[in-house]
Amino acid sequence: MLNIILFGPPGSGKGTQSEKLIAKYGLKHLSTGDLLRNEIAAKTPLGIEAKNFMDKGQLVPDEVVIGMISSALEANPLAKGFLFDGFPRTEAQSIALDNLLQFKHTQIDIFLSLEVNEEELVKRLLNRGLTSGRSDDTNEEVIRARIIEYENKTSVVADYYKKFNKVAAIKGEGSVEEIFALLCNEIDKRLS
Ligand code: ADP
């Protein structure tokens, strides 16, 4: 199996690069943001609970997203590997993911961290908000809250994977193709 975490702040390009990576490496894409938005659209109790946090730019409670990822792993027993996008976002989520993967006799192979400066992030997210239909992208205050939440709670997740020598940092500024090439290069280095 090949299991990848694509990491980075909101607006760093995880969604765009995920689509290209899953196509190239034949992986199953697991985006907690997408899974949560599906729950909201279906008006499930989980979706209704999650929306309160997401509308404020706050993280959804760990047990909610961990449960969602656990179900998604179980639902895809034949996957060649997984690309985790937007997960894990806290150390508790990282530990839970390690345990879930261990249960499947597999592990994270690489943690790819996209690095983009804050003003560029805000610009990209406001721009995405014009067409994405995502309410959390149209309000600059909510965007800034998401970036602060990232700095306070999520950026430490990289330290967790550094302990296991799994982190590759990539400059997330440049063309989509240039960044994709840098990501593939890091993956291929570890595969060989
Ligand atoms: P972005 O990274 O661009 O902000 P996402 O689609 O990954 O967008 O996530 C949107 C929102 O969903 C986040 O702001 C957060 O409220 C919630 N969310 C997504 N993934 C997680 C997670 N792993 N843990 C907690 N909350 C999450």
Is ligand 1 within 6 A of the CB of residue 60?
Answer: yes
Domains of the chain listed by start with CATH number: 2-27+79-191 (3.40.50.300)
Is 35 a pocket residue for ligand 1 (Cβ < 6 Å)?
Answer: no
Which helix (H) or strand (E) segment is 126 a member of? helix 118-132
Handedness of CA 139, 143, 144, 145 (dihedral sign): positive
Mean pLDDT of 45-67: 97
For 126, phi then psi, to 5°, come to: -65, -40
Specify the pLDDT at position 112.
98
| Among 56, 134, 144, 153, the one annotated catalytic | 134
Percent of the chain with pLDDT over 70: 100
Whether the predicted pLDDT of 191 surpasses 90: no
Average pLDDT score, the chain: 97
Position 192 pLDDT exceeds 90 = no
CA-53 nearest atom, ligand 1: 16
Question: What's the whole-number mean pLDDT along residues 60-67?
Answer: 98
The pLDDT tens digits for 130-174 are: 999 999 999 999 999 999 999 999 999 999 999 999 999 999 999
What tokens appear for 177 in the block?
């193709």
- The closest residue, in CA terms, to atom 9 on ligand 1 is 33
Cα 167 to Cα 137: distance, rounded to the nearest angstrom: 28
What pLDDT, on the 0 to 100 scale, is given for residue 127? 96
Q: Would you state the pLDDT for residue 145?
A: 97
pTM of structure:
0.96
Nearest of 163, 135, 111 to residue 55 by alpha carbon = 135
Active site annotation includes 14: yes
Q: Does the annotation mark 144 as catalytic? A: no
* CA 32 – ligand 1 centroid, Å: 6
**SS3 letters across the chain:** CEEEEEECCCCCCHHHHHHHHHHHHCCEEEEHHHHHHHHHHCCCHHHHHHHHHHCCCCCCCHHHHHHHHHHHHHCCCCCCEEEEECCCCCHHHHHHHHHHHHHCCCCCCEEEEEECCHHHHHHHHHHHHHHHCCHHHCCHHHHHHHHHHHHHHHCCHHHHHHCCCCEEEEECCCCHHHHHHHHHHHHHHHHC
Answer yes or no: 190 catalytic. Answer: no
Q: Mean pLDDT, to the nearest integer, of 26-47?
A: 97
